[in-house]
Structure 1
């Protein structure tokens, strides 16, 4: 057998190239392993996804912040820091937030915004600085906001605006400067002249006049101008600078004296469609002039707080404007609507006289309005449905809410065949006659909540064929009789909450074939009433709310029949309670039949345990709220039937551990709320069992601050998927010396070795090992290979030497030779030693046992012979198996310290060729060796010496003179 070995020096360049590539790969792995910025904000909450800038919203409002947080993710799209105590905006507060589009800093204490501090927000489109303490807008305050389109500066103390403050805001469309201290219209001139400005709100300032020459010399594109609540003494337009103005609000102006109106040409405001003259201090004549100025385009007119007499006179004039369609007359103390009052308003489509003291209407008040579609009479003093609302075939919306109507008659809604919405809530109605709605064949929405209705009678049996939404909440219904809603075949939503319903008769909701939502919360229903015979015939039923009732199951483990077994299409079930005592116990088959259920709300029910089969009937469950109960602990198998569960609410449940989540099959949960419990330690396996978790709320728990939570702190700060809400406020409950200390402030570094240290040590060791291996292979290749085979021989020797002993040896000598030297061994060595001298030899081609591993045959041959004769040649030195044979013999020689090895050199071999076999070299220097005579020399001496060597006893070397060496190299 020949071992082919590449000589040193070959392919060394390739070896080091591969080494360089390997080192580069290690550095790449280091970069990948380096922890990234986590999904954790100390003072804020994130909505959206870290990887999607267009979807990420950071909410920091109401956190008592005094500065802008420094850990805001740089790819945030919306940032809300409103309602805090921030007083100053510095130059670096928003550095890096280049994707921010909406910034709300309203309701703080901001009095200073450094120049250039907003310049980093090149993508910003909406900026809110309302309700602060700004006094001055400097020239460079908004520098860099080239994409800003909406700016809120209302409710500040602004009195000065720099001449170039708005110069570069070319995209600005809306500016709100309401309620500041501006007094000179020239201050807003740079704003008005912006190329794309459409809406300007400058009400509640100190402007005493509005004159066109003060704002512009050319036409501007302004669509809306709000000047309300300014002490304007004059409104003057002398040029066509507002040709596109559509909305003009001058309500409550002229409070320091009557306001003058000076518009030289009516065409200057020819596009105004909406006008607000509410509460204005202006003479009647001037108000008429205002109406005459806009009489070619006015659509909506608002006249609040101008008095009964004036409003009647102005209404009569306004109604002659052919384009007018909506008239609002709130807060004018109108008590009677006479026939003449609205006689001229023939073209109106919407009439709003809410918030007056109307208690009487002429039967003909609205008869002239042939196009009237919306009539609002809410917040008045009507004691009955007025005759004036009857026989209006074009009417679609009628609002009679917040009156004192106590009785309904059969003719109250006569001939309102086109009505689609009717609002009667907040009245004193106690009875619904069976004929009251008979003409409302097109009605879609009916609200009669907050009345005193006791029974349904037959009110819903006729007429309401297309009704889709019915609200009867906050009444005094005590029961629902069979067929009470039978005539409402189109009804989709039925609200009956906050009544006194204690009884639901069989077939109570019969005929509601299109019903999708039924709300029965806050009544007096018991479990006896929720049964199969009540909620039958509802094929499209999706949502049922029976919260805050008197349903209890104390000891019932099984219900017969299950209450919802036939509601196979139900998707939302709410049974939570606000009372101290809820269900107390939830039977195991309570949800049986709800195979389509998606959301289950069962909070505050005082439940102490849930049977493992509770959710076995709801495989599609997606939303679960069982907060405010008294579980203490839950079982993992409870959630095995709900693999689609996504949102879980478990706050205030007295949980002491979250270990039940391990093995609970909740791989899709993204939202988990476990706040206000008794959790002290978070098991790492818990969070590993929730791979999709993106939102975790653990606020107000009793954390133990020690090494048990060290990994949790590290995880909160470095994970880039799960947001831990309010983590900056987590406090310690134990040990006592750390009580009320912030969890994130506790020094826990000693508990763990930083991951980077592991990376450093492992990488360094790997690099060093690679370098050592490369150098060893390059410079000590032969020694390494030889050492490898010595090691293998040592292993075999250790294994076999106790099995084989020299006593009673089977052979006199084991012959180790290379296959190329076999002719010499067979023609010279074998005839002499066996034929002439009579020794018994072991040769591998003759005496090795077939089928046995070669190395085992070698071991048995060497240890089964008194001596080992190694026939050395250059071929021998290159042979793998010959090397193993001499190695085994060498180990026997050194381990037993006996003369068992004889070396026979067939040819001269230079020392440098022996040097890799360092143990061979030592043997040659110390042990007996023989050289085969050269051609022509006599062989007799050689055979004589070999015989003497074979006859030598197996004692130590010093006892055998022959072992001192016959010849030396």
Structure 2
């Protein structure tokens, strides 16, 4: 424990500083070589090489050493006495002062010692104390040396309370320029406000012995801290809020220094999730379990190291699904025995993967498939005994594999063909089929992927070569660096339809035409550095087909960034992952990345035309809306009368089970009007079924019951309102029943026709009087009477459609 505490308490405050080359002594700039000439007896001075040593042999109290290499001052002070005897040197412009005070008097403060020596203008101070009861630094030193940018405090003690007497908040609250801080203590509880004044801190190293860190411990440095290191001997507990506030944190290290392989310690499941600026994470002997949501939404991570965790035997699927920017993943020195196929899903930009020193016994043939950019793979010192031939086949970018310390056994080399000629480490000449290769090309079969490779690069070809006829379904055709001007017809070039990868970079192609000129199972097309100015609509339409997943590289072409480029821009915005060099695609004239262009940049006239059309449409819609709102009723009547847009003015067949379209309620004294209405209604262009009490009622039946039954069985009730109607008891009853039915159905079913002028308004029932005030009515003799009446009648959509061709306007 003592050795650990000694190491831990050596941790300190530190900073990088600029080193001056001279020192100021007694107001004069003195080169180090002339320093000894300024020493006053009885003290002495020795100078050798770049080191000047000052000592007072009579006192045996101080050793002062100045070095030229870093312009630093070293003071070793042994006396348990006051400071009155210390000579005054007026030393300034030092990069660093280092005090090794083995036995300071308890009441002696560092600032007093510096004042006695005349030390001013110091960039950094290192201080070591070996007595637990000593207050090593005080706030006044930082008040006096406001330009101090770095401080190192190292305390070595056997006493567990050595740091307890130091109020760090009080000590360091007056260091406004401090950017880097390293704090060491073996105390078991850390004050939450200890860093409350460190608003400029960018680097923090905590060497602690605490088990729990307060949630608000780092809130004061949340806007400045970029690098955080937490070193702890054994267990460590803290919640995600401790880190969530660190909006600028880029580098994070958690290390349990004395915890052997992370025994018993588990980090919170969401500990590093949603840390948007985090770029590097180091976890050393820190956990025995990793949750699948550990790094969720931390999309800027570029490096992750999870090492030295003996109890960590697996990683969950989807752990790195949001880390598309990760380039280095080190999960070595754990106990991983099984890796699922989906564990590396999302790491398409990973360059280095270290799986060494684990317990892996097998690797799936699909395990590395998502790692399309992997260059370096370390799987040395595992328990692998065999590998599938296709384990690395999907990683075409892989350059180096370290498998040292792997004990393969029982593997046999199968050589099936006598005339086997090796071209390189993974490709062999295929002799099993009789096919010929164009003399301008080199052909071979890649055994692991079962692909026919045809390499015709730099062969001065003006047209596509004839391709070998083979049973292999995938062909990689490399015809870059030639003089090809157009794509062939797949039916004219033998074997062209089997091409799955077509590499056409550095040719003279001017167009790609329609998709019919491309092989049907093409998965990748490379047309970089050709003369293509327009990717026409037919080609873009081919790309947008549902079953088309072909990827492309298009950069280096003189693309015209005009109206013709709008389809390409639309496609790239919708499916950017399919254009692999999207960031390198440039516009010819604008000299601007194509993906940064907007439609208005490509085609200002097109945008202007669309804007004008949209503007006109908006104006027309507004005018139509105003006209409709002002003349809605008249418009519908006119349309209905002229058999136009009947789908709009016809009502739904809500009353399709009713027998009559209308029941006419009238006084028998107004039968002359009925004689005029009835023929028009029953025999007009839109014939209606009309009920009259004098014609359609059953003789001898109860009149009130017939009124109720007829109103209920009619879609409309036409009231012939006259003085005779008001004077008729039965007529008024018919209105009341119709009015109650209207209220119950919540539909306008009553049509009132005012016939002649009313002589006595006092005789009108209250319901009828209220209805007349709240609703419109027809007036006999109105020029539009018949049009309004027919519009107010039920609209049968099916009947209207059948009569539309034959019916004329109602007159």
Normalised to the residue count of structure 2, the TM-score between the two structures is 0.42
Larger radius of gyration: 1
Higher relative contact order (CA 8 A, sep 6+): 1
Normalised to the residue count of structure 1, the TM-score between the two structures is 0.35
